Amino acid sequence: MERLFFFVIAVALAFGVGYLGRNRKIGFGWAFGISLINVVIGLIVVLCS
């Protein structure tokens, strides 16, 4: 049950980063995909694009 909770939190954070990238050059899909791997790296990539 605890793993599911952390999984949902990770996907929600990745969705948030993807939402930030929706109007940028990277787009929602790439921002979301990179953020699923690592949220911090995804956020850095979105902010640099």
Query: What kind and span of H or E run contains 7?
Result: helix 2-20
* Total tally of structural domains belonging to the chain: 1
DSSP 12-27: HHHHHHHHHTTTSSSH
DSSP 8-state secondary structure symbol assigned to residue 1: -
Domain that holds residue 15: 2-48
**Stated pTM of the model:** 0.87
Closest Cα partner for 29 from 19, 44, 41?
19
Confidence check: pLDDT of 1 > 90: no
Helix axes 39-48, 27-37, angle to 10 degrees: 150
Looking at this protein, which amino acid is placed at residue 11? V
Which tens digits make up the pLDDT trace of 12-49?
999 999 999 999 999 999 999 999 999 999 999 999 99
